[in-house]
């Protein structure tokens, strides 16, 4: 179990999803329960009716905020900013977002014709490129997040039951069935 919930911020194509998937694998391999809420899947499902206008962006953020509230009860959020140069993001434009914006087919794309505002005080900043300008791998960036979570005390021994499980054990019925309704 772990108390920190990393949330990744950065331009489209900055590597957020790849880093998050790699981090999820690391956490899972070390015995931690994980759940990945990816922006692309949210856009295809929860927000498929929304475009890129400022109003639609606000509504997307509102909806994601409501989902995030559901996760918030399980621990605090740790903001991770993936600092990737815009030209690299544009090169990784597998969805055609930047090319569509440049061709005038898509409006209000952050980093093209809408401003992108990096987070003011993220807990973790990942420089996507090393000091020589080479792109770092998603696995190495995920390892940086994993290490920061570990050093910050957000990860704990998954063999130790969580407080919620301990409470359920205290409410064990006489027939030996655990009462999880108290959680």
Hey, which residues does 135 pair with through a beta bridge?
129
Q: Which of 62, 116, 63 minimizes the C-alpha distance to 90?
A: 116
pLDDT of residue 137: 97
The pLDDT tens digits of the residues spanning 110-164 come to 889 888 899 999 999 999 999 998 999 999 999 999 999 999 888 877 666 555 5
Q: Is 158 exposed, middle or buried (0-12, 13-18, 19+ CB in 10 A)?
A: middle
Q: Which residues contact 79 (CB under 8 A, 6 or more apart)?
A: 6, 7, 9, 119, 121, 122, 123, 124
Rounded-to-integer distance, Cα 163 and Cα 1, Å? 10
**CA-CA-CA-CA torsion sign (100, 105, 111, 113):** positive
Q: Measured at the alpha carbon of residue 124, what is the angle toward residues 24 and 111, in degrees to the nearest 5?
A: 90
The two structure tokens encoding residue 12? 């489209």
pLDDT of residue 163: 56
DSSP class per residue in 51-102: -SSHHHHHHHHHHHHHHHHHHHTT-EEEEEEEE--HHHHHHT-TT-HHHHHH
Residue 182 pLDDT > 50: no
Rounded-to-integer distance, Cα 51 and Cα 58, Å? 11
pLDDT of residue 162: 58
Q: Which helix (H) or strand (E) holds 125?
A: strand 124-127
pLDDT of residue 53: 86
For the chain, the first-to-last Cα distance in angstroms comes to 16
Are the C-beta atoms of residues 128 and 14 closer than 8 Å to each other?
Answer: yes
pLDDT of residue 164: 55
Kindly list the structural domains of the chain, giving each domain's residue range(s) and its CATH number in brackets, ordered by start: 4-156 (3.40.50.300)
The pLDDT tens digits of the residues spanning 22-72 come to 999 999 898 887 878 777 777 788 888 988 888 988 898 888 878 877 776
The residue-averaged pLDDT of 7-17 equals: 92
The pLDDT tens digits of the residues spanning 63-114 come to 887 887 777 666 678 899 999 999 999 998 888 989 999 999 988 888 898 8
């Amino acid at each position: 179990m772990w108390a920190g919930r990393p949330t990744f911020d950065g331009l489209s194509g900055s590597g957020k999803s790849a880093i998050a998937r790699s981090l999820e694998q690391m956490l899972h391999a070390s015995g931690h329960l994980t759940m990945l809420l990816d922006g692309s899947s949210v856009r295809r499902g929860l927000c498929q009716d929304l475009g890129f206008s400022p109003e639609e962006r606000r509504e997307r953020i509102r909806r994601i905020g409501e989902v995030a509230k559901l996760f918030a009860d399980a621990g605090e959020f740790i903001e991770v900013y993936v600092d990737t140069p815009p030209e690299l993001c544009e090169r990784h434009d597998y969805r055609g977002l930047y090319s569509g914006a440049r061709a005038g087919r898509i409006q209000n794309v952050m980093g093209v014709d809408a401003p992108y505002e990096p987070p003011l005080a993220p807990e973790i900043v990942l420089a996507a490129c090393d000091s020589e300008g080479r792109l770092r791998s998603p696995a190495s960036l995920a390892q940086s997040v994993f290490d920061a979570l570990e050093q910050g005390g957000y990860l704990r021994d998954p063999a130790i039951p969580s407080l919620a499980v301990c409470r359920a054990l205290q409410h064990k019925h006489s027939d030996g069935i655990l009462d999880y309704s108290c959680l």
